[in-house]
Structure 1
Amino acid sequence: MKKLAIIAILLFLSLNLTSCINITRNIKVNKDGSGSENMMLEFDKTFFDIMVSFATMGDSTNANAIRDSLYDDEDFISGIKEKLIGVPGLTLENIYSVTNADSSKTIFASYAFDNVDKLGISISDDSDQLLSEKIEVKYTDRGDDILFTYTELEDPEDVNGQDSTYTAIIDGIAELFKGKQAVYSFEFDYDVISSNATTQDGRKLTWIVPLDEKMRNREKLHLEAILQK
């Protein structure tokens, strides 16, 4: 039963993520581990079409009202805003959403944090767990250098990846993610000795994560950099 529930959730998320979301996170980390982030989440029109379809199954009479509610800017950002405001050590500076000419929507959020571990919070609300992976962020002073890591943690409740039915479904969902990616850019106040970043521009490191490959390979995200003090 649990396996079927997880598969159903994965199928639902695939419909949303594949057509709806691009994630861009631009993060500045100061020498003491504090910093700031500017984040952008882009939701395609298809996301709203799917949500309306799910909400009106069997009764489409209130479809327009539901669509209007989804496009309401205050409602759209309320869950994420509430979660960000409730985190000790994190100061929300701005959050808003806009509706674009193609009926897509974009959320912009900026905040300051007193320690990089605040980047490990889930920024989703309880009804929209698109960004709720368990994250551990460390900024470890090792004397001559600093080790920075941003890691998705293994979930002991994960379904066994060797199960053939589950594997086949995951592989199918991965195809739907083709062309989608998450971009993480970190700018540090120290020179970079080494990293596993996709690109480097001085002290700025960028990781580009193809979502289809991540899902197909069942990979947990691990960003790492060694900084020269």
Structure 2
Amino acid sequence: KMAMVFQDALSSLNPVLTVGEQLGEMFTTHQGMSKKDSRIKAVELMERVRIPAAAERVKQYPHQFSGGMRQRVMIAMAMALEPALIIADEPTTALDVTVQAQVMDLLAELQREFNMGLILITHDLGVVADVADKIAVMYAGRIVETSPVHEIYKNPAHPYTKGLLQSIPRLDQKGQELYAIKGLPPNLLHIPPGCAFNPRCPMAQDICRTDVPPLAKVSPDRASACHFWKETLGE
């Protein structure tokens, strides 16, 4: 029902087993297929995620694949049993921009084809804009804002979200110094009292240092965990 694409494909794949053995294991273990039939299914999966010469490459080991191709193997493994939901944890980490786009396009295509849900965990807001319908922004292990994707880019309702968006380089702001959120992320063993973001927040006031803000509704489909979300939105 649920599968996961992990962040680092090289460390997630077994280095001493061929890619075909690892993909085939899904079918021998969960569907009782023979090794011969599972090898055929492995080749079909590799072809489905556009790995060239799949019939030959199914015999190769993970280190013989590029980073982008290894990530495609991970996606094929996640898709093997046609889950209802895939969780993709930073699936484009350490890939160049072109390969990132190819991997995300592949995930989006498979999502539409199999009508499955996709939870994308990422720090790359550019990737999110192209893929997500709804965004949940987290800080210190807690959701601080939820919103439909276009609304959050247009007018964020939490200072942390606003800081993240301001930190993205823009083509129309050449030569300007890139914005950075001040301070350091909190130690999760010693989260500050009140709002965890308060030591770094330009809007912080006394209440932020003592009271944890609830995730309050900003509109019917948006919520923000900020005492001053109205000011953040400019209301």
TM-score above 0.5? no
Larger radius of gyration: 2
Structure showing the higher helix proportion among its residues:
2
